[in-house]
Amino acid sequence: MTAQTKGRIAFQGELGAYSHQACREARPQMEAIPCRTFEDAIETVRKGAADLAMLPVENSTYGRVADIHHLLPESGLHIIDEAFVRVHINLLAVPGTKLDDIEEAMSHTVLLGQCRGFLRQHNLSAVTGADTAGSAKTVSEKGNPKMAALASELAGEIYGLDCLARHIEDKQNNTTRFLIMSREPNLNRRGTAGMMTTFVFRVRNIPAALYKAMGGFATNGVNMTKLESYMVDGNFIATQFYADIEGHPDDSNVRLALDELRYFTSSMSLVGVYPADPRRHGQGVA
């Protein structure tokens, strides 16, 4: 570890992945550690081989990242920050290749779905790869001038590829929200753009329990920005809810809302209390 590097941050994917880009933007002083799966990134932090994990949770074009909300409550880690990263998609090819030479574009299925217009316009066949940066690595290793990768410019730099077309995503506000996870919570910080609180809960088995549990947030003026449900242990009647709200548990209105929630739930636990990213409130991502 160099003198300029302070700690390690784990992410899922190859070097050059958008999660790697998120690490560089949000924690530029830390050494980024690639991991094969989300579970591996979490475990790397749990066992102390990294200090933080950078995990994507949702994309403005594609929606939520599959399985991640199920993993977070069971991870034993705590959310200490969020990061909004502008996802620019680029067509990368071996040096000397021209756009007209390309017949196939390889990337993760999620990214392929975010630039359908460009692929259709240039009559390019979509090839599903394991991930974005891994696709760039594959294109570099094969050296086939008929195949390109869809990935970040960072991936192009790492794997020595030329960028034939920049920012080809269908939606010009294409943004991914990441959560930064730590072994220990940090409940005393206050952000300049406000605070976020994330928690999971299960409602009691009584009529209209969810409706009643949510009422406390409305009556106390607490903005809930996310509410999602998923089955627990493959049981159709065991449902857990994942929620994000604006505010800190020490705020009087949030405290009252959470007290009311607890009355109608069989279990409730905090996953994180952290500063809101300023870009959450419409300041945009360059």
Would you please indicate which residues are annotated as catalytic (active-site) residues?
Answer: 176, 178
Residues 6 or more apart whose CB falls under 8 angstroms from that of 44 comprise 10, 33, 35, 50, 53
Element (H, E) at 128: strand 125-128
- Distance, CA of 251 to chain centre: 27
Query: What is the four-CA torsion angle of 48, 49, 50, 54, rounded to 10 degrees?
Result: -100
- The CA-based angle 28-179-197, given to 5 degrees, is 130
- Tokens of residue 48, six digits: 């102390």
Mode of pairing for the β-strands spanning 147-151 and 90-93: antiparallel
Annotate 208-244 with DSSP letters as a single string: THHHHHHHHHHHTTPPEEEEEEEEETTEEEEEEEEEE
H-helix or E-strand containing 254?
A: helix 252-263
Written as one letter, the residue type at 136 is A
**Residue with structure tokens 């409730």?**
268
The torsion region of residue 221 among left (phi > 0), alpha (psi -120 to 50) and beta comes to left
Q: Which residues have CB under 8 Å from 267's CB, separation 6+?
A: 201, 202
Amino acid at 139: V
